[in-house]
Every structure is written in C-alpha cells, then in structure tokens.
Amino acid sequence: MRFDILTIYLAVINIIGVLINVIDKYKAKHNKWRIKEATLWSVALLGGAVGSYLTMNLIHHKTKHKSFILGLPIIIIVQILLLGYVILKIRQ
C-alpha cells in the first residue's frame, strides 16, 4: 500500500518537473515572465529530478547552467539511494 502511494507521488512530481521545464522553455523563447529557478530546483528536490533532467536534455533547457548540469545528476543519485532505503524499510 505505501509503495503504491510512493510510486504515484514520484510519477506526479516528475510530470510536474517535465511540465514546468517545458513551460519555462516556452516562456524563454517568447520573452515572457519566467518560472523562478528556485521553483525548478524545489520540484527537483521534492522528487522530480529525473523528469527535470530528462526534459532539460531533450529540449536543451538550462544546458548552459553548470548548476543544473551537475546538480540534477547529484540529486538523482541521492534520490535513488533514498528510494532504495525507503523500499527496504517498507518491505520490512
């Protein structure tokens, strides 16, 4: 039961990560008001790093920002380790 909730949460937060990166890229191309980088980072830290990283590379968004190029993979590694730990705890 708890694993299902975690799976749904991670799917939703990663979809949000994809969407806000796509929206921010669109706004950047059309000189519109942008999404704050703090918001992009917050979504990534809350579990949406994989979706954000994949989208960043697919649409070439924030690829010139070293903080995103290096930071998102680090967050992904930490999140994978945490996820492994949580899964082990849930199964006990």
Q: pLDDT by residue (tens digit) across 33-64?
A: 999 999 999 999 999 999 999 999 999 999 99
The whole-angstrom distance between residue 48's C-alpha and the CA centroid of its chain comes to 3
pTM: 0.89
What is the overall mean pLDDT for the chain? 94
List, as one string, the DSSP characters of 9-59. HHHHHHHHHHHHHHHHHHHHHTT-PPPPHHHHHHHIIIIIHHHHHHHHHHH
The pLDDT confidence band at residue 26, using thresholds 50, 70 and 90, is: very high
End-to-end CA separation in angstroms for the chain? 13
DSSP 1: -
Range of the domain at 33: 2-91
pLDDT band at 1 (very low <50, low <70, confident <90, very high): low
Residue 89 or residue 38, greater confidence: 38
Q: How many domains does the chain have?
A: 1
Rg (CA), the chain: 14
Site of tokens 């070293």: 66
